[in-house]
Amino acid sequence: ITARLADGPLKGKRVLVTSGPTHEPIDPVRYIANRSSGAQGTAIASALAALGADVVFVTGPADVPPPTGVSVVRVETAQQMHDAVHEALPCDAAVFAAAVADWKVDGAGDSKIKKVAGQLPTLSFTENPDILASVAQMDTGRPRLVVGFAAETDDVLANATAKHARKGCDWLLANDVRPETGIMGGGENAVHLVTGDGVEDWPRMAKAEVARKLAARMAEALA
């Protein structure tokens, strides 16, 4: 349990955090998901609240329960997360830790797809909205500090630096999510912080520690 610091450095600041995976329905009984546990986003929301922030926590169906002391908005799909995020604006800062599905299944409807012997279903996809980019590139009402994540399996720094520029966010925390790192679903994270000034390599540490370090940096930047 994290006690809110009534007079913490983020007192009076409204901060949005997205977290967890999204689920994209195929039909009423099936969905496409990803391996995000929601642990890092939850730890970040908790650390921000501990510094006194008013946190709006928009979460997909995560494995870990949301932190206490934050306003929780539960969503399932990327489109719902997008809509909930824009409803929660304006805010002072936003952290996009969710693992948002890039695509949704076309024509997912109310009827279960039936198995027919010898016939395979074909799924087609359309692109989901890019929630981070839609906030980072706002012309008016943009949060002062927009922080994204980059989950990569290859060329982590090159991809992350390009992603930082493409998305238009202020900071990007990049991590290597190859299965052998144990980061997806594990208790630790090893991140690189990409800012306009360059790249900082943070040592591997507990997700709660990454969260505290990020929250402290955000408090400094927003002071």
Annotated active-site positions, please? 34
Question: How far is Cα 223 from Cα 212, in angstroms, rounded to an integer?
Answer: 16
Q: Check: CB of residue 23 under 8 Å from CB of residue 77.
A: yes
From 47-55, 97-105, 186-194, 200-208, span contacting ligand CTP (CB under 6 A): 97-105
Q: Would you count residue 105 as binding ligand CTP (CB under 6 A)?
A: no
Binder of ligand CTP out of 17, 26, 50, 98 (CB under 6 A): 98
Binding site for Ca ion (CB under 5 A): 102
Is 213 annotated to bind ligand? no
Is 207 annotated to bind ligand? no
Q: Would you count residue 102 as binding ligand CTP (CB under 6 A)?
A: yes
Q: Whose CB is nearest to Ca ion?
A: 102
Pairing mode of beta strands 14-19, 54-59 = parallel
Binder of ligand CTP out of 37, 40, 42, 128 (CB under 6 A): 128
Minimum distance, C-beta of residue 50 to Ca ion, in the bound complex (Å): 29
Binder of ligand CTP out of 4, 77, 148, 183 (CB under 6 A): 148
Strands of the sheet with 145-152, listed across from one edge: 71-74, 54-59, 14-19, 93-96, 145-152, 171-176, 191-195, 198-201
Is 129 annotated to bind ligand? yes
Question: How far is Cα 81 from Cα 94, in angstroms, rounded to an integer?
Answer: 13
Q: Would you count residue 149 as binding ligand CTP (CB under 6 A)?
A: yes
Which residues make up each annotated binding site?
102, 112, 129-132, 149, 163, 167
Contact residues for ligand CTP, defined by CB under 6 A: 18, 78, 96, 98, 100, 102, 128, 130-132, 148-151, 163
